[in-house]
Chains A and B, each alone.
Chain A
Amino acid sequence: MTTPEERIAELLRALPAPPQGWMEAAKELPTARRELDTIVERIERDERFRALVLADLEEALRGEGVEPTPAVVALLRRRLAR
């Protein structure tokens, strides 16, 4: 027989905290979107830049001064896939 406290403890354990860095990266999405707007505009009007981004997305982001965190890369991929 499980006591209510044991059940509560079990449920607390069911939701461990993710690594802090993952959360920080996800929280940066609004800022990243503003930076990506500029990059996407450039991709649309500059064929060479577009090819560069498609060849190495992370390096292209670094070249534009944007840290290619997984969240930023995922966001840009989604924008490019539209």
Chain B
Amino acid sequence: MDPASDAALVARCLANEQGAWDELVDRYARYVYAIAARVYRLEPSDAEDVFQEVFARVFERLDTLRDVDALRPWIAQTTRRCAVDALRRSGRETAVEQLPDGADEGLAQLDEAMTVHAALAGLSPDCREILDRFFTRDESYRTIGTELDLPPGTIASRIARCLARLRDVLQPDMQRAQRAGKKADRPRVG
């Protein structure tokens, strides 16, 4: 996700521009949901409360965000706080003491996943739809075939083709990440 576009989106929300808030919800709904439901493993009803509380807080406090480039970390932190409150309310005190196992890795993975999701915008609508249905909505080949009027036998090859296109869109980011990883692995000298 491009922080510059986040900054622009925040500015549009603060100017009460039509559709800007809907765009912010669309952009961050999966992220908030994944933190609540996957990283903190909240029950569905608690996850829903957290989801709504986070967006209510973001809506009310958007004008207090000092660094508009930091929208994503701010939303992540707000979600974590709300999730911890939900754990407290549900009496899972042991979980409150520390993040659930793998939570830090989970949060880092979600940041990477946001980059991949943002890259979907570089694909055709057909590719976006088939990847979304298969990977994030967990729909079967049969359902996708029926909904998109495609022979089920062609779904797998289309998914593979669209994934390869997405890889190409992401290539510069992945190479940058690889280079950064290698640099970090090098022993420090001096």
Chain A contacts to B: CB under 8 angstroms: 4-5, 8-9, 11-19, 22-23, 25-27, 29-30, 33, 69-71, 73-75, 78
Are A26 and B52 in contact (CB-based, < 8 A)?
yes
Could you give, for residues 125-142 of chain B, a 1 whenever the CB lies within 8 Å of some chain A CB and a 0 otherwise? 000000110011110000
Cα–Cα, bound, A2→B174 (Å):
14
Nearest CB in chain B to that of A6: its residue: B163
Q: Is the interface of B mostly helix, strand, loop or mixed?
A: helix
Are A15 and B34 in contact (CB-based, < 8 A)?
yes
Which chain B residues lie closer than 8 Å to A74 at the CB level? 49, 52-53, 56
Question: With A30-B59, A70-B48 known to touch, is A16 a contact of B34 (CB < 8 Å)?
Answer: yes
Q: Is the interface of A mostly helix, strand, loop or mixed?
A: helix
Partner pick for B34 among A14, A26, A33, A78, CB 8 A cutoff: A14
Cα–Cα, bound, A8→B167 (Å):
7
Which chain A residues lie closer than 8 Å to B60 at the CB level? 75, 78
Nearest CB in chain A to that of B138: its residue: A16
Partner pick for A15 among B16, B21, B117, B167, CB 8 A cutoff: B117
Shortest CB-to-CB span from B32 to chain A, Å, is: 8
Question: With A14-B109, A18-B51, A71-B52 known to touch, is A23 a contact of B25 (CB < 8 Å)?
Answer: yes
Nearest CB in chain B to that of A3: its residue: B167
